Amino acid sequence: MKHLLICAAALGLASPALAGSYRIVLSQPAGGKLLRGHAGVQAADEINSNVLIRLISPGNEVKDRGTVRVLVFNYGPRTFDFGPDQVKLRLADGTVLHPTPFEKFDKGRNVIERAQREAKAVNLQNSEVLASLAQESAAAGGSPSSGPTATMGSSANSGELASTTADQDLPGANLVDALDQLLVPLSVGPRQAWGGYYVFDLPKTVFDRKADQPLTVIVATGSEKHEFPATLHWK
């Protein structure tokens, strides 16, 4: 979750810091249960014969943008579609906190992936240079194990330096991982699970109220609608 929030800021999706912030605080769901974790993390579960829904509030700041995580498991006999269109955050006055358009995340993803391609190209160039140095050392009578340059060159000569560069070591790898966990549309068949992070925008008019506001998170699974009570809590 922290990666996702850092991702939003790093991609230029967050506005300058403002005094104070909101948190999403879940309440006991009707017919369900409320779980509390560390650092303000909460989870509300609702289950019936057709579906299990888990709504998670990370306890992070909500200023111009926030997030919740929604997971579903289909116990029923019918397939249903589940994605951002099946989740709605509605304040007591009727204001809907709309999801952040995927296009904004895709633009940031393109920047990150371009940087990763450049990093891989540099690694490949380094491999070729080190391989050349290793060959020159061997031609001059040096031993493949006679020093650090030869050791690195031996690895590069087999292509290991380029091929074993872990994706997580590349620029922005954590941010790409976070983007991959966003909630996207999918057909959920019987005995299948799906879910992800629902990122929403907070209108400035809502932020400027600087007071607790009742919030309902509505989750649709097929023909069923489930409502989770919560509070947009000012802190």
Sequence spans of domains, the chain:
2-104+178-234, 106-175
pTM of this structure: 0.67
Identify which of 87-96, 137-146, 189-198 has the greatest average pLDDT. Answer: 87-96
Identify which of 6-10, 26-30, 86-90, 139-143 has the greatest average pLDDT. Answer: 86-90
Element (H, E) at 158: none
- Decide if pLDDT at 169 tops 60: no
Tokens of 68: 């919740």
Tokens of 28: 């006991």
Average pLDDT over the chain, rounded to an integer: 75
Amino acid letter for position 218: I
Helix, strand, coil: what percent of the chain each, to 5? 35, 30, 35
Task: Give, in words, the CATH class of 2-104+178-234.
Answer: mainly beta
Q: Which residues of 55-68 are buried (b: 16+ CB within 10 A; e: fewer)?
A: bbbbbbbbbbbbbb
150, 164, 157, 158: which is closest to 120 by C-alpha? 164
